[in-house]
Amino acid sequence: MSTITRTDADGKQINVNVEVLRVGEKLILPENINPEEAAKLVTEWAKEQERIVAVNESLVGHPMDALLAFNRAMEEMFGAVIAEGRRSFFGEIPPAIMSIETGYDKKGIMNMAKVPWGIFKLIGVDGKIQLGVKLERGRYALVISGQVKAKDKDKIHKLANIARKFLANDSIYKGQAFEFVPIMVDGNNNINFDSTPRFIITTTTKPENLILPSKVEIQVQDSVFTPVLKTQACRDSNIPLKRGVLMAGTYGVGKTLTASVLAHYAVANGWTFIHVTKAEQVGAAIAQAKDLQPAIVFCEDIDRVVSGERSANMDDILNTIDGISGKNDEIMTVFTTNDLSNINGAMLRPGRIDVYIEFIPPDAAAAERLIRTYGGKLVTKSDISEAAKRLEGRIPAEIREVVNKAGLSRVTTGHKHIELEDLHRAITIMEPHFALLDRQREKDNDRGNAKPTIDKVLGALVNGMVESSEKKVMARVDEKVQEILDKM
């Protein structure tokens, strides 16, 4: 902005603010100015272009993703990426070259990208920029900052916009399955490159190996798998893809395998799958998922952070879950627990948990399917329902061991296939082991580790609230009685 002095109709001198615009190779001057004014404006504009100004641009997203996008933008706009070293007390320190994992290829080999980090010199730009990382409203961003001449400020803005397009359209994490790793940043806003997500191979997962009791299977299919497998149909039917799922049940009944199949389906259908290994990090993972939608955040043993009395950490997690409330949010949170009674009632509120699935040990039909899956072609085609009935209520790992022992029995008896007799022999051999496992489970139950149903938990919550209200009323009555006695 420049100022020119003019004389108005009354003969008074007034200052008028005018602006010179540059469009491509042309300068656009205001209308109705004389040659002297034009020369002054162009001279002042040229001086302004040489002034040193600060630049600051943010690329919101995972810093590793943003760094790759930034480097691609640099190459597209300037043809090369020139990183500079920095000076220290001990001399010149060369620029840092970082390796970033970008995902597995079809052969299961990890792809890597090498990118520079630090200070950059841009071709045709007077000045330098440097990179850093900061937290903006709960989400991380790669920050491009530095000092350049005013004439080059628009180039930095253009560079950032190109990078933003790459980040939005070509994320290395969107549509992939990975293990969540917290982002670590030092006091100088430099990222720790060890804090990169760890990709998960999902192509080896076989969905047909997930065998559940029919009731559980229907719940899992309709409430968990269908939104991923038929995403567009859900959108067309205005069925929200934002949902909270709680899978509860004892150890070994299929919760983790269900999550593995879900990850497999997610990657095959354009969803991001984030596996949170530490329950206290689920809030940060959900924040990251906002940039990678549609996304699934899976966390085992959620009761570790939402049990007992309300705490600041629990409130943070609940508030983060509540924050998935936008009309277009497409984030599914899937939690597991081995002990439903430990979970604070606030977590079970609709909107936080929309679907509850109680995983139970296999029934007879599921047990037979497991026998045939584990034994494959070695299992007879004849009726084995009697053996399956004996295995009803045993977890899949125990049924697998029975099939292994039945295979040894087949060798002993000389049968061509694993016959009903071999299965009966194996079950009989395993019965003492089953009894030992059952006694251990009973001890766990006696110590208060029984796995109640959702009805029992909600009933206990309601009873607890009623009991709490009664106590408050009685306490108030006691106070009033004491007041009367004090006045007598």
Do residues 337 and 246 touch, judged by C-beta distance below 8 A?
A: yes
Q: What is the pLDDT of residue 352?
A: 87
From CA 317, how far away is CA 342, in angstroms rounded? 16
Say what the pLDDT of residue 102 is. Answer: 92
- By the 8 A CB rule, do 140 and 63 touch? yes
Q: Is the bond into 396 cis (omega within 30 degrees of 0)?
A: no
Taking the C-alpha atoms of residue 156 and residue 113, their distance in angstroms, rounded to an integer, is 24
Cα dihedral: 258, 259, 262, 267 (round 10): -150
- Output the pLDDT for position 463: 45
Q: Give dist(CA 76, CA 159) in Å, integer.
A: 9
Cβ atoms < 10 Å from Cβ of 121 = 14
Q: What is the dihedral of CA 91, 92, 95, 96, to 10 degrees?
A: -10
**Ordered structural domains, the chain, with CATH:** 2-49 (no CATH), 52-172 (3.30.310), 207-358 (3.40.50.300), 364-449 (1.10.8.60)
All residues at 6 or more sequence positions from 407 whose CB lies less than 8 Å from its CB, including other chains: 375, 378, 418, 422
Helix (H) or strand (E) holding 370: helix 364-375
3-state percent breakdown (helix, strand, coil) of the chain, nearest 5: 45, 25, 30
CA atoms within 13 A on the CB side of 230: 12
Q: pLDDT for 93-127, tens place per residue?
A: 777 888 899 999 888 899 999 988 888 888 888 88
Cα–Cα distances in Å, from 373 out to 39, 187, 411? 87, 54, 19
Cβ atoms within 10 A of the Cβ of 250, count?
Answer: 17
* CB 127, CB 149: distance < 8 Å: yes
Cα gap 206→103, rounded to integer Å:
20
DSSP state of 343: B
Region of residue 91 (phi > 0: left; psi between -120 and 50: alpha; otherwise: beta): left
Per-residue pLDDT tens digits for 456-478: 444 444 444 434 444 444 455 45
- Dihedrals phi, psi of 250, to nearest 5 degrees: -65, 175
Distance CA 272, CA 312 (A): 29
Tell me how far apart the alpha carbons of residues 107 and 269 are, in angstroms, rounded to a whole number.
19
∠243-306-457 over CA atoms, to 5°?
80
Tell the residue number behind the tokens 């706009």, with chain if given: 77
CA-CA-CA-CA torsion for 122, 123, 125, 130, nearest 10 degrees? 10
To the nearest 10 degrees (0 to 180), the angle between helices 364-375 and 396-413 is: 60
Give buried/exposed letters for 166-190 (b at 16+ CB in 10 A, else e): bbeeebbbbbbbbebbebebeeeeb
- What integer pLDDT is reported at residue 485 of this predicted model? 46
Strand partners, 117: 96
Residue type, 397: A
Tell me how far CA of residue 50 lies from CA of 26, 27, 53, in angstroms: 18, 16, 9
For the chain, residues with pLDDT lower than 70 are 1-25, 27, 29, 31-34, 37, 40-41, 45, 86-92, 325-327, 445-488
Per-residue tokens: 177: 């399955």
